[in-house]
Amino acid sequence: MITAIVQFDLPKDIDRHKAEETFKKISPLYQSMDGLVRKYFCFSEEGKGAGVYVWKTREAAEKIYGGGVWRERIIELYGVEPEIQFYDLLLTVDNATGEILTAA
């Protein structure tokens, strides 16, 4: 599995409340993405937004990030290109279930 961290600067007029409203509005779009296991919407008081994604494969992630609707939506909503970093997901500590999960 792959973790992708997507970061972008938020416009000055988007505070925590507005970011949360926007994230809630667009969150259903991620429910039908092929290969997406989980997505976290993140906000920092320094004016940055981020998404932490867990994908089944890098190919599935690159299919979405490579352009098209997803990238256009980021640019339309926030006015900037996203910065994307990929990491191999090796292990997950899930305290909600009490499990330690390997990616294999």
Cα 65 from chain centroid? 10
* Domain residue extents for the chain: 2-102
Exposure string for 31-52, b = 16+ CB within 10 A, e = fewer: eebebbeebebebeeeeebbbe
Report pTM: 0.90
pLDDT digits (tens, 9 = 90+) for 40-70: 999 999 999 999 999 999 999 999 998 788 9
**What CATH architecture does domain 2-102 belong to?**
2-Layer Sandwich (3.30)
Is residue 83 over pLDDT 80?
yes
